[in-house]
Structure 1
Amino acid sequence: MITPEYCRTMAAYNKWQNDGLREIVKTMDSKALEQDRGAFFGSIIATLNHLLWGDTLWISRFDGGPAPDQTIKDSTQYMPTSATWAAQRFRVDGRITHWADHVHAIDLTGTLRWYSGSLQRDFEKPVGLCVMQLFNHQTHHRGQVHAMLTAAGEKPNDTDLPFMPES
């Protein structure tokens, strides 16, 4: 379904996009970041927090590392400030990149089993599908953040994969 190269490309894309978002967020005041902008999670920082929470949860399922203690209900408050969000975002992007750099084709086959605390039930899904979910979820919510930042007068990076800088 997917390859290690896909994982490496998407991990690099994730890092590139989040590097740009961290640069913008550090210049914005908390009021602008917390303003309800009518998005699904309301504000820029709430959406960024949910995305970071989701990334941390999914990568924990792939690398066996730590997962968030919060459920989806509390995901919008995952990090208390934009500074803590930026620091944790940097760490999780490194974790995703490390996993992608070391994943093998065999690791992307088979079934992933986990218990969802949010839905209170067990799941079994193909590993490849779950990895695609990690990257699709990122792109989906970063698109929301991109729209909110643009509406707030900011200039986020281009989001097109062919224009990603070479590593």
Structure 2
Amino acid sequence: MIEPEVFQRYAKYNAWMNGKLYDVCSTLDDDLRKRDQGAFFKSIHSTLNHILFGDRAWMGRFTGRDYEIKPIGVDLYEDFEVLRAARTEMDQDILDWTSGLGRPWLERSLTWTSGSDGKTRSQVTWQLVLHMFNHQTHHRGQLTTLFSQQGLDIGPTDMPWMPDT
């Protein structure tokens, strides 16, 4: 079992890293952001959309809130600034939600039906929250590779270098 404070730290890291990614993305023109670069979700823009999709899907399951999502692989937002605003809002939702996490909720089981394969599954919630943060990190790693292919460096990405705020 992971203590709630760990997830609060992950939420801060998530918001910090997303801010760094979106800052770099704001320096790119829309054509480059949306160009198919051979990534799993093809482009920088679509990968950003997918990370938001995943967070909305999991946070909806965790909180019962009805977040707008589309089928996996379909961009939620075409406009970069609208996507950025939605990302900022989602990061704040995650920060607020993790601040109220407790052991009883993290130790219970959650049952959901996957939108990708239609199967119903149950798993302990702390593992699912850990998965949500791992999913974000996985796809941010893909983005940093796409950035480096363009000669861009987002700077330090390791949690120990995160400024404490």
Report the TM-score range of the alignment, normalised by the length of the smaller protein: over 0.9
Give the aligned partner of residue 79 of structure 1. Answer: 77
Equivalenced residue count is 165
* Residue-by-residue CA offset, 1:1-48 (whole Å, 9 max, x unaligned): 211111100000000000111211222111110111111111111111
Give the aligned partner of residue 88 of structure 1. Answer: 86
Q: Shift of the alpha carbon at 1:126?
A: 1.1
Q: 1:137 aligns with which of 123, 130, 135?
A: 135
* Residue-by-residue CA offset, 1:48-99 (whole Å, 9 max, x unaligned): 111110011111111221233312142xx11111111100000000000000
Give the aligned partner of residue 165 of structure 1. Answer: 163
Contact 1:2 1:128 in 2 (8 A): yes
Q: What is the correspondence of 1:138-153 to structure 2 with a 5 Å cutoff? A: 138-153=136-151
Structure 1 runs of 4+ with >4 Å offset: none
Percent identity of equivalent pairs: 36
SS at match of 1:135: helix
Give the aligned partner of residue 47 of structure 2. Answer: 47
Counterparts of 2:150 and 2:80 in 1: how far apart (Å)?
16
Contact 1:51 1:138 in 2 (8 A): yes
Counterparts of 1:83 and 1:47 in 2: how far apart (Å)?
15
Q: Shift of the alpha carbon at 1:113?
A: 0.8
Q: Give the alignment's TM-score, normalised by structure 1.
A: 0.94
Contact 1:17 1:157 in 2 (8 A): no
CA RMSD, aligned part only?
A: 1.2
Q: What is the correspondence of 1:7-156 to structure 2 with a 5 Å cutoff? A: 7-74=7-74, 77-156=75-154
SS at match of 1:162: helix
Structure 1 segments unaligned to the other structure (5+ residues): none
SS at match of 1:72: coil
